[in-house]
């Protein structure tokens, strides 16, 4: 028989852990299924300096350990695993973990976050971790005093290009249009940084290298001209993809896959299923805003369970 859970939380970033802290303190006996990246995106970050309560800043992995300890202190049952399938059309809701173990849950909080998008080139996949990275802050250090390339033109790409420019001799920034999507101030900072060279109207044609990145071949989409730039690191900063695919048959998502909730609420289309954090937020995407929406989800789950008389 499937195990019955009162409040199931899927995901272990700031949203999931905050939901767990509130749900546990409210007596909902939450069980958390962490996902493969326990702690979420912050696990791949170094200094976090904008999370209130840490006046001296803190390392991302340490902060997530603090979140975890706080959730456990109030009795959250934290389990490592991956939710592979759900059925939210039945009562109680059904959830399958790691492809086999079946759980039943009264209320479910979705906090599966988002992950980096990739270009989709075979060379990008082959050289991932061998010079190809989606996180300059995590991996930039390895390319100190060398030349690197970065693709993207949003605020993330600009921020990461500036970060890399402080470590690397030259940062080659590949921009697919003749303008950037980033805020004006970030664009200006990039353009004012002497060792960032911008390639406008350019696409990544291929990342070159047998076992490690050695160069990138860039194609100018207007002229068709190909340029090979020797680099030792290739950073992808073209946005993020919300982890909503497994739930999409039961809840509404927008054209990018972000979960749509009732305005000013974490309620989804499926009754008793709440969504929080980056999974539903493409605008702010901050640890503190994710934590705030995790709190909302737990409060709304508690209210819903009590209104329905489910104990």
Distances (CA, A) of 49 to 134, 287, 307: 20, 11, 40
Residue the block writes with tokens 């950073």: 235
Residues 151-180 that bind ligand NDP (CB under 6 A): 151-157, 159, 176-177
Residue from the set 61, 75, 239, 257 that interacts with ligand NDP by CB under 6 A? 239
By beta-carbon proximity to ligand NDP, the closer residue of 1 and 283 is 283
- Whichever of 109 and 153 has its CB closer to ligand NDP, that residue is 153
Q: What is the dihedral of CA 141, 147, 151, 154, to 10 degrees?
A: 60
The answer to whether 133 contacts ligand NDP (rule: CB under 6 A) is no
- Near ligand NDP by CB under 6 A, which window of 57-65, 141-149, 225-233, 236-244? 236-244
Helix orientation angle between 60-73 and 14-25, rounded to the nearest 10 degrees: 20
Q: Which of 7, 106, 139, 295 is catalytic?
A: 139
Q: Is 285 in the site for ligand NDP (CB under 6 A)?
A: yes
Which one among 37, 43, 59, 119 touches ligand NDP, defined by CB under 6 A? 119
- CA atoms within 13 Å, Cβ hemisphere of 143: 34
Contact region with ligand NDP (CB under 6 A), list: 21-29, 52-60, 149-157, 260-268: 149-157
Residue 158 annotated as catalytic: no
Q: How far is CA 198 from the centre of its chain?
A: 26
Closest CB 15 distance from ligand NDP, rounded Å: 16
Q: Which of 142, 75, 136, 108 is nearest to 5 (CA)?
A: 108
- The residue whose Cβ lies closest to ligand NDP is 154
- Rg of the Cα trace of the chain? 21
Using the rule CB under 6 A, which residue among 25, 85, 126, 181 binds ligand NDP?
A: 181
Q: How many residues make contact with ligand NDP (CB under 6 A)?
A: 17
Is 295 a residue of the active site?
A: no
- State residue 94 phi and psi, 5-degree precision: -110, 140
Residue 269 lies near ligand NDP (rule: CB under 6 A): no
- SS3 (DSSP) at 6: strand
The catalytic position among 7, 47, 66, 138 is 138
CB of 176 or CB of 269, closer to ligand NDP = 176
Q: Which are the contacts of 230, defined by CB distance < 8 A and separation ≥ 6?
A: 147, 214, 215
Judge whether 175 and 197 are in contact, CB under 8 Å: no
Residues in the chain, total: 311
Is position 279 an interface residue for ligand NDP (rule: CB under 6 A)? no
Known catalytic membership, residue 135: yes
Q: Which residues bind ligand NDP (CB under 6 A)?
A: 119, 151-157, 159, 176-177, 181, 238-240, 283, 285
């Amino acid at each position: 028989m499937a195990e019955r859970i009162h409040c199931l939380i899927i995901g272990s970033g700031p949203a999931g852990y905050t939901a767990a802290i509130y749900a546990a303190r409210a007596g909902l006996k939450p069980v958390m299924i962490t996902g493969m990246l326990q702690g979420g995106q912050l696990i791949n970050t170094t200094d976090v300096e904008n999370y209130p309560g840490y006046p001296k800043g803190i390392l991302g992995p340490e902060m997530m350990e603090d979140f975890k300890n706080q959730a456990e202190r109030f009795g959250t049952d934290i389990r490592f695993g991956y939710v592979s399938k759900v059925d939210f059309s039945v009562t109680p809701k059904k959830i399958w973990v790691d492809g086999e173990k079946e759980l039943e849950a009264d209320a479910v909080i979705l906090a599966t976050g988002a992950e980096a998008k990739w270009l989709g080139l075979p060379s990008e996949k082959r050289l991932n971790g061998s010079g190809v990275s989606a996180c300059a802050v995590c991996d930039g250090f390895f390319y100190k005093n060398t030349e690197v390339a970065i693709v993207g033109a949003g605020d993330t790409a600009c921020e990461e290009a500036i970060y890399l420019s402080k470590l690397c001799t030259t940062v080659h920034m590949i921009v697919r249009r003749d303008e950037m999507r980033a805020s004006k101030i970030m664009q200006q900072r990039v353009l004012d940084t002497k060792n960032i060279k911008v390639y406008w109207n350019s696409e990544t044609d291929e990342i070159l290298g047998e076992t490690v990145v050695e160069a990138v071949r860039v194609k100018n989409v207007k002229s068709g001209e190909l340029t090979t730039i020797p680099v030792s690191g290739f950073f992808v900063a073209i946005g993020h993809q919300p982890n909503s695919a497994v739930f999409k048959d039961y809840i509404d998502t927008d054209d990018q896959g972000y979960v749509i909730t009732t305005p000013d609420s974490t309620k989804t289309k499926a009754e008793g299923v709440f969504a929080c954090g980056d999974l539903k937020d493409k605008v702010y995407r901050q640890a503190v805003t994710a934590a705030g929406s995790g709190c909302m989800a737990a409060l709304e789950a508690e209210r819903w369970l009590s209104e329905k008389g489910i104990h």
